[in-house]
Amino acid sequence: MYRNNHTRRSYPAAKKRRIAKWPFAAALCAGLVILAGVYFWSANHHETSTPSSASGTNNSNSQSSTAQQPAAGFDKHKYSNDDPTSPWVVVDKQRPLQPKTYAPADLKVPDIAANGNEQLNATTADALKSMVASAQTQGVNLGLASGYRSYQTQVSVYASEVKSVGQAQADRESARPGYSEHQSGWAADLSAVNGKCRLQQCFADTPEGTWLAANAYKHGFVIRYPQGKETITGYEYEPWHVRYVGVELATEMHKQGVSTLEEFFGLPAAPSY
């Protein structure tokens, strides 16, 4: 910047030539810097957008995603929820047996039957015998109060309940014909051999009821109508009613803390017909 009160100095010719070169040199340097910047930007852009690099990035993301995937879980589709011959069949007020008059082909009387004529399907009968024997080694004596009921038997049982307590209450305590787990052959009502609290909710507080709640899953059984789940299962708490589903499923439900088949398999709640 020149001050107004000074005259411009006169420089020697050589010095003027040197000064004249500075703008050209500065422009040249600036150009080189710009070219260098463009080069490096281009190289970097090319590197991140080439097919091989993109593939590498995708592989990296894929590996990371794979590493975060949970290990293979429990196979909920191993057995049918609809076939009455399946240990995982789900029978409730929204899911009748197919057909409604279904009868198991392999019924047998387990050795522990209290009156000698209660039947279950063969798989359930054998598992129940094993569970009762295990309980006996710990001083707990369980007996079979009720097992398989045919369609016609269920007609009589349900009609008797309706007559006794009315239909609304009967539907909380007893299944309509064709909708009963007892008809499937996979379910059993248990009791203490001494008869205390037989088919009553106080059974839960007996040594037999306490043992059953803690150990049934180890033998493939679940308490099918647990406390506080009537809006899911459609039935009042029945600590005596067990359902055979197999050790694999019963253990998984116990591990996950899921107490109903409807919740475990993601099926609709069945509070009513």
pLDDT at 32 over 80: no
pLDDT at 3 over 50: no
Q: What is the predicted pLDDT for the residue at 141?
A: 96
Q: What is the predicted pLDDT for the residue at 43?
A: 46
pLDDT at 80 over 90: yes
CA distances from 204 to 78, 188, 201, 238, 265 (A): 32, 16, 6, 9, 26
Taking the C-alpha atoms of residue 21 and residue 27, their distance in angstroms, rounded to an integer, is: 10
Taking the C-alpha atoms of residue 271 and residue 266, their distance in angstroms, rounded to an integer, is: 15
User: Out of 14-18, 206-210, 213-217, which region has the weakest mean confidence (pLDDT)?
Assistant: 14-18
Q: What is the predicted pLDDT for the residue at 269?
A: 98
Q: What mean pLDDT is predicted for residues 190-218?
A: 97
Would you say the pTM of this structure is higher than 0.75?
A: no
Taking the C-alpha atoms of residue 231 and residue 192, their distance in angstroms, rounded to an integer, is: 28
Q: What is the predicted pLDDT for the residue at 112?
A: 79
User: Out of 66-80, 113-127, 159-173, 254-268, which region has the weakest mean confidence (pLDDT)?
Assistant: 66-80
Q: What is the predicted pLDDT for the residue at 113?
A: 56
Selected residue with higher pLDDT from 160 and 9:
160
Selected residue with higher pLDDT from 81 and 18:
81
Taking the C-alpha atoms of residue 237 and residue 187, their distance in angstroms, rounded to an integer, is: 15
E strand or H helix at 242: strand 238-244
Query: DSSP alpha helices (H): ranges in the chain?
Result: 13-49, 51-68, 122-136, 151-165, 167-173, 181-184, 207-215, 230-233, 247-256, 261-265
Q: What mean pLDDT is predicted for residues 220-235?
A: 98
Q: Which of 242, 204, 248 is nearest to 221 (CA)?
A: 242
The CATH classification number of 107-265 equals 3.30.1380.10
**Reported confidence tier of residue 97, pLDDT bands at 50, 70, 90:** very high
**How many C-beta neighbours within 10 Å does residue 161 have?**
19
Selected residue with higher pLDDT from 83 and 17:
83
Q: What is the predicted pLDDT for the residue at 82?
A: 98
Q: Which residues of 30-59 are buried (b: 16+ CB within 10 A; e: fewer)?
A: eeeeeeeeeeeeeeeeeeeeeeeeeeeeee
Q: Which of 255, 244, 251 is nearest to 88 (CA)?
A: 244
